């Protein structure tokens, strides 16, 4: 077990020194505590904060996950950040930015050693266990994006006691997977660099340039999955990403299906990883 005293606050100076900021991170906010970096980023975006603004927090009081779930993370151990982007794109294309963020996270993790994979739409896993989640939110008008907020949560140095025992086999941390405490400043700087590089690629060359890079890291291709979204559930084998970033499935009846959103479970595969479930069971524990 690592020494809890080694969990030091992020140093914005060290991050600035390590990262040649172009767009992403040129405006950097660091707060000790906030409800949610996504909420704060939304507020800043509405007030006109520049394209590429990054919000980092040590603690989130109401961290949010996908599909209305919560996200919990102990202070000084992991990474919780949001990025405000102002691309001139149709709102239907905004989810592609979330896919780009998943790619950037997986590429950064791989620099630390582990073979991170992406689970559509943008969870990042190591050996089938969830390491990171991404929440993409936007404001749009007349079918065009006003701004997108990309919220990224990554388990870097948390310890197994930080999660309930029933979730130990579903979650992982980069510290556990790479065998040593992660320098959070260095990781943040590399992540922002990867994100900038892939985001520029998306704007310059389109999603067609991102797609093969993303597919090379996908852990779902060829697997049988169940997709739950709203009132509908469907099952099939993943055949890849469509040109617009939706997930392609071959249904059990042999039909081609495109999935726009939903919760993916691998059938007979690794267990679904969900830090959001961790959050809700922690809440249940606290209640009683």
Taking CB under 6 A as the criterion, the residue among 69, 77, 190, 211 binding ligand BTN is 69
Q: Which residues fall within 8 angstroms of residue 169, CB to CB, at 6 or more apart?
A: 129, 271
Q: Mask 94-123, x = binds ligand BTN (CB under 6 A)? A: -----------------------------x
If one asks whether residue 36 binds ligand BTN (CB under 6 A), the answer comes out as: yes
Closer CB to ligand BTN, residue 59 or residue 239? 59
Taking CB under 6 A as the criterion, the residue among 25, 87, 151, 262 binding ligand BTN is 151
The stretch among 13-21, 46-54, 129-137, 252-260 that binds ligand BTN (CB under 6 A) is 129-137
C-alpha to C-alpha distance for 197 and 135, rounded to whole angstroms: 20
Q: Which residues fall within 8 angstroms of residue 52, CB to CB, at 6 or more apart?
A: 22, 23, 24, 25, 26, 27, 83, 84, 85, 196
The stretch among 22-30, 110-118, 151-159, 217-225 that binds ligand BTN (CB under 6 A) is 151-159
Closer CB to ligand BTN, residue 256 or residue 283? 283
If one asks whether residue 71 binds ligand BTN (CB under 6 A), the answer comes out as: yes
Cβ distance 37 to 61 under 8 Å?
Answer: no
The stretch among 34-42, 138-146, 212-220, 262-270 that binds ligand BTN (CB under 6 A) is 34-42
Closer CB to ligand BTN, residue 193 or residue 277? 277
If one asks whether residue 65 binds ligand BTN (CB under 6 A), the answer comes out as: yes
If one asks whether residue 29 binds ligand BTN (CB under 6 A), the answer comes out as: no
- The CB-of-34 to ligand BTN minimum distance in angstroms stands at 9
Taking CB under 6 A as the criterion, the residue among 87, 95, 98, 153 binding ligand BTN is 153
If one asks whether residue 133 binds ligand BTN (CB under 6 A), the answer comes out as: yes
Q: Which residues fall within 8 angstroms of residue 256, CB to CB, at 6 or more apart?
A: 239, 248, 249, 250
- Number of residues near ligand BTN (by CB under 6 A): 21
Q: 182 is written with which tokens?
A: 């992660």
If one asks whether residue 64 binds ligand BTN (CB under 6 A), the answer comes out as: yes
What residue ranges bind ligand BTN (CB under 6 A)?
36-38, 60, 63-66, 69, 71, 80-82, 123, 133-135, 151-153, 276
């Amino acid at each position: 077990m690592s020494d809890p005293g080694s969990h030091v606050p992020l140093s914005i100076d060290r991050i600035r020194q390590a990262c040649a900021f172009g767009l992403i991170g040129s405006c950097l906010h660091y707060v000790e505590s906030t409800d949610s970096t996504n909420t704060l980023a939304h507020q800043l975006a509405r007030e006109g904060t520049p394209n590429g603004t990054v919000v980092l927090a040590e603690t989130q009081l109401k961290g949010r996950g996908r599909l209305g779930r919560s996200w919990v993370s102990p202070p000084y151990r992991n990474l919780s950040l949001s990025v405000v982007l102002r691309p001139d794109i149709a709102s239907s294309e905004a989810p592609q930015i979330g896919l780009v963020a998943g790619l950037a996270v997986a590429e950064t993790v791989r620099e630390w050693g582990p073979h991170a994979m992406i689970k559509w739409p943008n969870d990042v896993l190591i050996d089938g266990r969830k390491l990171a989640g991404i929440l993409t939110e936007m404001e749009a008008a007349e079918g065009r994006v006003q701004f997108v907020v990309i919220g990224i949560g990554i388990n870097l140095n948390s310890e197994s006691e930080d999660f309930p025992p029933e979730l130990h086999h579903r979650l992982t941390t980069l510290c556990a997977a790479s065998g040593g405490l992660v320098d959070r400043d260095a990781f943040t700087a590399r992540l922002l660099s990867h994100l900038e590089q892939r985001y520029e690629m998306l704007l310059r060359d389109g999603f067609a340039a991102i797609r093969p890079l993303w597919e090379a890291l996908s852990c779902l291709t060829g697997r049988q999955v169940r997709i739950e979204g709203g009132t509908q559930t469907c099952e099939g084998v993943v055949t890849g990403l469509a040109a617009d970033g939706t997930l392609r499935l071959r249904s059990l009846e042999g039909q081609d299906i495109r999935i726009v959103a939903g919760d993916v479970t691998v059938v007979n595969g690794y267990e679904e990883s969900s830090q959001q479930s961790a959050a809700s069971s922690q809440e249940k524990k606290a209640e009683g």
